[in-house]
Chains A and B, each alone.
Chain A
Amino acid sequence: MDNILEFFEHTKNFIFFWKTAGMLKIFRIFWFFFVFEMVRYVLFDLFVICIYKVKSVFLRKKYQTARQMLLKQNPLVSVIAPGKNEGKHISALVNSLAEQTYKNLEIIIIDDGSDDDTPQICRALLRERKITKYLRNDIRGGKASAANFGFQQAKGSFIVHVDADCSFDRDAIENILIPFFLDSRIGVVSGNVKVRNPTESVCSALQAIEYLKTVTVGRLVSSTLKTLRIVSGAFGAFRADVINRVGGWDIGPGLDGDISVKVRKVNFAVYMEPKAVCYTSAPEDFKSLIKQRLRWSRSFVRFRLRKHKDVFFPTANFRFSTFFSFMENFVYNFLLDFKWIVYFIDIMIHFPTTAKYIFPLNYFLYTMSNVVQFIVIIWISERKKDELKLAPYLLLMPLYVGIYMRAVRTYAYIQELLFKTSYKDPWNPRKVSKKAEELGI
């Protein structure tokens, strides 16, 4: 009873404090949220999504014509799935591909030196003619090598790169191909990757919301602004001639982002198709998630800031959209990541006694911003009811994004900047990382 009374007393004080503080003080304290976070991720995203929706209405006829062209030309599409020890996922992947509305598919599984039952499973699928080719390298060469090997043996005029643990909506392949017939400058199309296992754990539920925010909405916004800089390796479609032109995949980690930038550099557009839905399994515990995200964040430094730093400078191949895209990425994902430390120190120095009122309101503001973003997600989602089930987890999102992810990211950036840790990541075979480090790539 005493606790409840105490809580009400605190709440009363909290409301009184902010009522008397005035708007100017609130802005002074939360400028970071109002200037950067709300403008960029709430207002701007909402604005661009409105544009996308309006544009979609006007493009409906053109979209239908593009679809007709695709079905009329019926080009051969090579689906390449490189991976190591993915045996347990392959059957689900192949079954999902067999259900596709687009039928002229060539399915190529590239086994990068698996030591599980992948060979037996793939050979059985090959005998049953459920896959077109099974390629195996007895010695592991890394994902880029496997993808390139698959691409070299592929015959399709479009290449769909998928992860072996993915499955697809029945019309996913058809939908991911249509944009190529909308605009001949489109070289790559990203699918809409969602989390398949949101109910398995709090960790996967939070990632499900994160994917909806960053992939479904985030990439759609970038695509509409023509600044998309990454096509997910889990589900991305490429024009075969464009892959040839950029020389295929370079060694990773982060090879999906890398190839997308290479495509932009040769003046092709990178597009996102929200109707091409793919589901992937997200890590179910925070330990595995840290491993994955450290890798992703290190690759940001290695590829965006080192390998492709030329996009920041006015070279011969300078493209404003690529520059803008990289700048946005650099500011929001890198600079502001360190800025929150400055912000935290600022609060502790200038408002040390009122911190107990600041952090709850901060949390409230971020939760509200997540709610607005979630409403946008529901608006554009094709599975509104399913996505709505994630709503309770919105309360945890400020903790997940604001503290957990930010801490992991910051740690990975420092590791990579100071120690080039990505070259030691066992995700790539040592021989490959060693060579990449020698060459500084």
Chain B
Amino acid sequence: MEILFITDDNSLKIPSDDRYKLVTTPPDQIEVEKIEGYDMVVVDARNPEAQQIVKSIRQSQSDAIALKPVFLFSTEEIKDMKLQCLSDGKTDSGEPLRIVSHANEISRLVSTLKEFKPENFEISAMLRILRFLYTRSIQLKPMILPTYRYGYIYPFAASQFSDDEDFRIYEILVRLEQEGLLMGNFYDRIHLCNRCRSAFMNFREICPSCKSANLSVENVIHHFSCGYTSEESKFTHGEQLICPKCNKILKHIGMDYEKPSTIFICHSCNETFQEPLVECFCFYCTNRTPVDETVSWDIKTYEITPAGVNCAIHGIMFSFAEFLSSQLDLVEYNDFKKMVDLEIERNKRYKRESSVAVFQVSNLQQIFFEIGEKKNELALEMAKIIKDALRKTDLISVLNESTFLLLFLETPAKNAQIALSRIKNNIEKLLIPNLSTSGKKFIPQITTNVLPVEEFSLNKIFP
């Protein structure tokens, strides 16, 4: 076994023996492509670049490199949780034998993986996550990372995406769960900014009138003998409480006066109120939004399902979107949205009605996996069903691998619903017999919705 030990500590002498050969290299000389030749990598965690090194290994295009057993060397506790999650374990002595068996098991499982060329990045990332979980026999666990914009991070999954695309991790995990390839268990619920999806938000009480957060709260005092009821500050004269109405000194709570409630005072506009609004201020994009308009998102731990294991081994992930684009004139989502906006304006002017239909097969990967080799044939049939239901003027776009958007021009929602039902029925008629022959008892999970074009929004595609 050949082990690559990445460290710049020259004083560290780890002797090789006949069971393994240790090659030591300093971090600045590491070439990720050359890692493939080693059976295992040990990274000196004391090195400040350790996280970057491990991350670059996990981000490699090649499964052989990205899934390589990577261990950390440190004699102390490793505080970098992200680094720990990206690695396969830790060793605190120069003796690598303790981790060799673990590395061998990983390598054995990696060797069972079939060669597979994913059709696009999304498929590639999905497969990489499945393969990582399968070869390590672990769960994908969220980790709290205060510096991360969502608060929780899945380090390995996150390493597959660039920083500006990291929310896609969550969407991909949801898809893998919908496909039945991962099983999610609730871990926590987070609230995200509805503009930038950041969890780094300040929840604060604000004035209902001017929206300022410059508030203070005071007790309300009710003076029994004259009925005067107002803020405590109006009664306060030094140490004493004196009623502004009758000038009596309030001596005894419960006998002379009571404090029946509290009141907020806004120091920006002098408004008084008892129930301030609560808003979220996003530190990332400075968006201000009411609490009930934040995006609520469930954080889960994920474990791979038997279907996920099969998928990880065989790599049978099929991009229907990719396939569809070869059969139909698919429009990019941004162009689709522009057309929708244009259509809204046209409809306003000419008093017409157009509709957007949404079509989602949430367990599409599972279906293709079950159908196996006939998947190309089936996809072609599905593409044909969609093509037949559309007129030349209608547009189709892909939101993600399982969700499709259709713009029916000059078609009221009622008529669009008819076309959509036709697509749904025909696809079900096509898939159900094929799935029953595979011997598995599951049905395609198809969700549809039709909206008048004016009501189309990504947040509302399904009721």
Bound form: Cα–Cα A74–B131 in Å: 73
Q: State in angstroms the CA–CA spacing of A81 and B274 once bound together.
A: 16
Bound-state Cα–Cα, A402 to B230, Å: 44
The residue of chain A having its C-beta at the shortest distance from the C-beta of B231 within the complex is A152
Whether B88 is near chain A, meaning CB under 8 Å from some CB there, is no
Total A-B residue contacts, Cβ distance less than 8 Å: 80
Q: Of all chain A residues, which has the CB nearest B243?
A: A247
A126 adjacent to chain B (CB < 8 Å): yes
Q: Is B272 a contact of A153 with CB atoms below 8 Å?
A: yes
Beta-carbon contacts under 8 Å, B219-257 to A: 220, 222, 224-231, 234, 245-246, 254-256
Complex contact B263–A432 (CB within 8 A): no
Residue of B228, B255, B260, B272 near A138 (CB, 8 A) is B260
Check if B225 sits within 8 Å of A137, measured CB to CB.
Answer: no
> Given A136-B261, A138-B261, A153-B263: A435 and B225 within 8 A (CB)?
yes
CA distance A431 to B260 in the complex (A): 13
B258 touches A146 (CB 8 A): no
Contact B230 A134, beta carbon cutoff 8 Å: no
Q: List CB contacts (< 8 Å) of B199-224 with chain A.
A: 220, 222, 224
* Bound-state Cα–Cα, A135 to B231, Å: 12
Q: In the bound complex, how far is the Cα of B222 from the Cα of A152, in angstroms?
A: 12
Q: What residues of A have a CB within 8 angstroms of the CB of B274 in the complex? A: 133-136
Given A134-B274, A153-B272, A141:B225 Cβ within 8 A: no
- Closest B residue to A247 by CB, please name it: B245
Q: Which single member of A113, A123, A134, A436 contacts B225 (CB below 8 Å)?
A: A436
In the complex, identify which listed stretch (A29-37, A168-176, A231-239, A248-256) lies at the interface while the others stay far away: A248-256
Say yes or no: A137-B220 contact (C-beta < 8 A), given A113-B260, A123-B275: yes
How many Å from the CB of B275 to the closest CB on chain A? 7
Q: In the complex, what residues of B have CB within 8 A of residue A54's CB?
A: none
Q: In the complex, what residues of A have CB within 8 A of residue B230's CB? A: 148-149, 152
Q: Smallest Cβ distance from A235 to chain B, in angstroms? A: 20
> A248–B224 contact, CB under 8 A?
no
- Knowing A141-B260, A153-B272, A441-B225, the reply to whether A431 touches B245 (Cβ < 8 A) is no
Give the distance in Å from the alpha carbon of A137 to the alpha carbon of B219 in the complex: 11
Q: Is A144 an interface residue (CB 8 A)?
A: yes
Interface size on B, residues (CB 8 A): 24
Once bound together, how far apart are the Cα atoms of A146 and B220, in whole Å?
11
In the complex, which range does the number of interface residues on chain A fall in?
A: 20 to 34
Chain A contacts for B275, CB-based, 8 A: 123, 126, 134
B224 and A435 form a contact (CB under 8 A): yes
Chain A residues whose C-beta falls within 8 Å of the C-beta of B254 in the assembled complex: 431
A137 touches B229 (CB 8 A): yes
Chain B residues near A1: list those with CB within 8 A.
none
The answer to whether B231 and A431 touch across the interface, beta carbons within 8 angstroms, is no
Pair A149/B220 contact, Cβ less than 8 Å: yes
Closest-CB distance, A142 to chain B (whole angstroms) = 7
Q: Which residues of the partner chain B approach A247 to less than 8 Å between Cβ atoms?
A: 226, 228, 245-246
B228 touches A148 (CB 8 A): yes
Which residues on the B side are within 8 Å of A250 (C-beta)? 226-227
| Closest Cβ neighbor of A152 among chain B residues | B230
Q: How far is the CB of B34 from chain A (nearest CB, A)?
A: 64
Question: Is A439 among interface residues, defined by CB-CB distance under 8 A?
Answer: yes
Residues B40-70 near A (CB distance < 8 A): none
Decide: B226 and A149 in contact? CB cutoff 8 A. Answer: no
Q: Per-residue 0/1 for B286-310: is the Cβ within 8 Å of any A Cβ (1 yes, 0 no)? A: 0000000000000000000000000
Binary interface profile of A, 138-180, with partner B (CB < 8 Å = 1, else 0)? Answer: 1111101111110011000000000000000000000000000
CB-CB under 8 A from A137, the residues of chain B are 220, 222, 229, 260-261
The 3 closest A-B pairs by CB, nearest first: A144-B227, A137-B260, A149-B229
Q: Residues on A close to B: CB < 8 A?
A: 113, 123, 126, 133-142, 144-149, 152-153, 247-251, 255, 431-432, 435-436, 439, 441
List 25 A-B pairs, Cβ < 8 Å: A123-B275, A133-B274, A136-B261, A138-B260, A139-B222, A139-B260, A139-B261, A141-B227, A145-B227, A146-B229, A147-B227, A148-B227, A148-B228, A153-B263, A247-B226, A248-B227, A248-B228, A248-B245, A251-B226, A251-B227, A255-B227, A432-B227, A435-B225, A435-B256, A439-B225
B interface residues (Cβ-Cβ under 8 A, vs A):
220, 222, 224-231, 234, 245-246, 254-256, 258, 260-261, 263, 272-275
